[in-house]
Amino acid sequence: MVKGESYLEHVEKFETSLAPYAKKSFEDFSQSFLDGGNMLDYYSKHWQDAGSKLRLEKRTPLQIERDRIVHSSGSRKLTEKYHVLYNGQRRIVRNYITHTMRLVQVTHAISRWLNLNGDFAEAIALGSKIGSLPFIHASKHAVSSWVKNKIKKIDEEFAKNDPEANYRFNQLKLNFGENPLPPWMTNLNSPRIIDKVVKYMPWAAGKDVDKGYSSGQQGYWMLSTNPFAVTSKANTYSPELMYGIWRHSLDSPIGPNTFLHKSDFYGATSGHHEIQWSHLTYEAIVVKYADDITWVVENLNDANSAALLNDRRSIYDSLIRELGGEVPDSLLKGLVAGNTGLIYTYFITDFNKNSENKLSLIREGVQKRIALREGSVDDAQIGLSDEGLNVLRKIKDFLEKTVFAEIRVSNRAKMLNTLSDACMELLYNGVEDILPKYIKEKAVLERWSEDDIANALSLIRDPIHRIQLCVNVFCDMADQEIYDFVGIESL
């Protein structure tokens, strides 16, 4: 540290080696936290304080955001959530932190090659898993359906005496412009319920946002708010980070009118949060691909281990036959050897070489990610080559048709859907005992203010808030806790 240097100068030393198109901590077109506070003013003020300065030395704001996620309670819970695959009578079990760490490694490898901001990319990768439910993929569709069905039922009751929804939706459309509202919301009839959904739940307008639950939106909700009292955590995260976390799935479209989240919050510097499609970064695109690559390779590896232990043919042999003569040589070597490292290397190398070519063609505007922020995503898009993406999709189809069609896998998924639904109902009906007890315990562990405790306890009575509250609690539970809570013996 140079005596007398500003925090801006201090941070720029650590980020000067990054590519011109990489995300930087302080950018003239992106100076604010998610809640509206000025990031440079906030950190510069702390830089002047001797005690706070120790925490900031040799650390950038984006490194601090990553570290906050690493040390969050949601991150610790990933060790108690499991991914399970069967082949015949064999079962392979791994906790979800292994998937998350491999996702981070793929993200880091790509970011390092392209000279992107690895700390920021890792923060997106880690944060994208914070909202993961118990049983991971087996429960997410059940919870999303439960949320929407519960809201629909409550709306039908309220709408009998509250028939002015069209006016309220016209107001929403004005707020969200050309970004389409989720279909499940436009089917609501009660203005009171519409207002409560907007106020108490993480939702967005745009293309492909018609979900009552996704791990990305839940990760945003858990990290940037106190979701139980519905208050903002001020001066903590950048909107670019939360966009990357919310929209981390490869099937989420990007570009104009694809995403806009606005929500009012007590405790936010500006009074609200806002995340929009123009907050897209190259690091966020890396995570979108890395998540799918990791999912494919890890499931292939687990399925193959189970098959071999069950004295069955290698999954990789079956995949090679399925792909026919369309397997690139470098990938074929990994499949023949059953070497996951070589399979990862094929996808990472393909992504990087294709992306280098794309970035070299952008020229003007690359420094400030202008093409991304103004919506010219076809010109600015990085990712796998057509060949690489085609292979990735074919492997995903293969997994769906073979591995996930295994009778014990599909039976387990059906059972866990039922179990998840039962757990959500028990939580929702626990308005007098279960939910107040949970909130009081959470308040002790996280040292909430008296106001937050009182607010959280009073909000339990609101039927729409209680729906989201159940999702928050469910996300905070481990697999074994669900079995115990519902009353089923496991393991």
Res 236 pLDDT > 90: yes
Q: What is the pLDDT of residue 372?
A: 87
Which range of 234-243, 303-312, 321-330 scores highest in mean pLDDT? It is 234-243
How far is residue 216's CA from residue 317's CA, in Å, rounded to a whole number?
A: 34
Higher pLDDT, 315 or 147: 147
Q: What is the pLDDT of residue 488?
A: 80
Res 318 pLDDT > 50: yes
**20 C-beta neighbours (distance < 10 Å), count:** 11
Sequence-distant (≥ 6) Cβ neighbours of residue 375 within 8 angstroms: 255, 256, 277, 278
Per-residue pLDDT tens over the stretch 127-165: 999 999 999 888 999 999 999 999 999 999 888 877 677
The mean pLDDT of 186-212, rounded to a whole number, is 92
Nearest to 75 by CA among 42, 44, 101: 101
CA distances to 100, 285, 469, 476 from 134, rounded to whole Å, are 14, 26, 16, 8
Per-residue pLDDT tens over the stretch 94-131: 889 999 999 999 999 999 999 999 999 999 999 999 99
Percentage of the chain modeled with pLDDT above 70: 97
Per-residue pLDDT tens over the stretch 56-65: 999 999 999 9
The mean pLDDT of 397-405, rounded to a whole number, is 90
How far is residue 479's CA from residue 408's CA, in Å, rounded to a whole number?
A: 18
Q: What is the pLDDT of residue 374?
A: 86
Nearest to 483 by CA among 406, 429, 418: 418
pLDDT band at 373 (very low <50, low <70, confident <90, very high): confident
What are the tokens at 236?
A: 């903590």
pLDDT band at 365 (very low <50, low <70, confident <90, very high): low
The mean pLDDT of 452-481, rounded to a whole number, is 96
Q: What is the pLDDT of residue 51?
A: 84
The mean pLDDT of 285-301, rounded to a whole number, is 95
Res 329 pLDDT > 70: yes
CA distances to 121, 397, 449 from 54, rounded to whole Å, are 25, 51, 27
Q: What is the pLDDT of residue 363?
A: 63
Q: What is the pLDDT of residue 138?
A: 82
Q: What is the pLDDT of residue 250?
A: 93
Cβ 233 vs Cβ 226: under 8 Å: yes
**331 C-beta neighbours (distance < 10 Å), count:** 22
Mean pLDDT, rounded, of the chain? 91
Q: The pTM is what? A: 0.95
Q: What is the pLDDT of residue 3?
A: 67
Per-residue pLDDT tens over the stretch 345-363: 999 999 999 999 888 877 6
Res 202 pLDDT > 50: yes
pLDDT band at 491 (very low <50, low <70, confident <90, very high): very low
Q: What is the pLDDT of residue 368?
A: 80
- Half-sphere exposure in the Cβ direction for 380 (13 Å, CA): 24
The mean pLDDT of 390-406, rounded to a whole number, is 92
What long-range pairs does 338-346 form, CB within 8 A, spacing at least 24?
A: 338/304, 338/314, 340/297, 340/298, 340/300, 340/301, 343/297, 343/300, 344/106, 344/293, 344/297, 346/388
